[in-house]
Amino acid sequence: MVDTLPSAPRSGRGWALIFLVILLLAGLPLAVWLDLRSLSERSLSLQASDINSLITSVRTYYATNIVSRVLATPGHSEVVHNYEDIPGAIPIPATLSLELGRVIGEQQSNIVYRFMSDYPFKDRAPHPLDTFERQALESLRADPNQTLSDVSVSGFDGRIRLISPVIMGAACVSCHNTHPDSPKRDWKVGDVRGIQEVIISASMALRPISSRGEQTVVNGGCESAAKAMS
């Protein structure tokens, strides 16, 4: 007579193995989504940081090497926010940033650039600040050596907001402390005048993540910047 009793434990182990495989397969989409989310958040953060650095570098160079030279040679040109209304005038660094950000935004629909201060010139409308921006401005005035960010994810769509301080340089202080439309006349070098914010939105759904892919938005932003300066 053949004894078939030992087959029951083997059958039980088989069902347990099948259940384990099904469980792993069911969790695979979640693991992939979490991995894509992590990679996409890092990619968005890198892009926002690079664009923020690009605009800051352009504005600093412009203020140091162009505006300061014009101001040091009076009578040849003017540095004003309404430069388009004055023949031969050039924009102040803040106006340059605003226009550069607008050009980048027009070329890259998923990028928003904001340059804001709670001390706008008299003929400019106040900048509306949301809770995150107000808190960031307060925090940066207490400690300007930081960059603040906020990442939000909904399904396969992600968005990052990166805020850094707009710090007054020597040329900025000279202009703002003497300009008739300036609402504040006691600026010092190193003061935080306001904030600049880079907002990038992107879909994470099956988005290629590679060293080349991560630079797509940044390269587009640089190309837009070059067009604005040409």
**DSSP for 76-124, written as a single string:** S--EETTGGGSTT-EE-HHHHHHHHHHHHHHH-TTEEEEEEESS--TTS
pLDDT value of residue 171: 80
Neighbours of 43 (CB within 10 A): 23
Mean pLDDT of 107-111: 79
Q: What average pLDDT does range 10-32 have in this prediction?
A: 59
The confidence score (pLDDT) of residue 213 equals 35
pLDDT at res. 82: 83
∠144-113-41 over CA atoms, to 5°?
80
CA–CA separation, 49 and 97 (whole Å):
16
The residues, ordered by sequence, that sit 6+ positions from 145 with a Cβ below 8 Å of its Cβ are: none
- Please, which pLDDT band fits residue 130 given cuts at 50, 70 and 90? very high
Residue 139's Cα: distance from chain center in Å? 17
Q: How far apart are CA 211 and CA 77, in angstroms?
A: 44
How large is the average pLDDT for residues 53-60? 82
**pLDDT reading at 23 higher than 70:** no
- What is the pLDDT averaged over residues 160-183? 89
| pTM of the entire predicted model | 0.65
Lowest model confidence (mean pLDDT) among 84-93, 197-206, 217-226: 217-226
Predicted local distance difference test score (pLDDT) of residue 73: 76
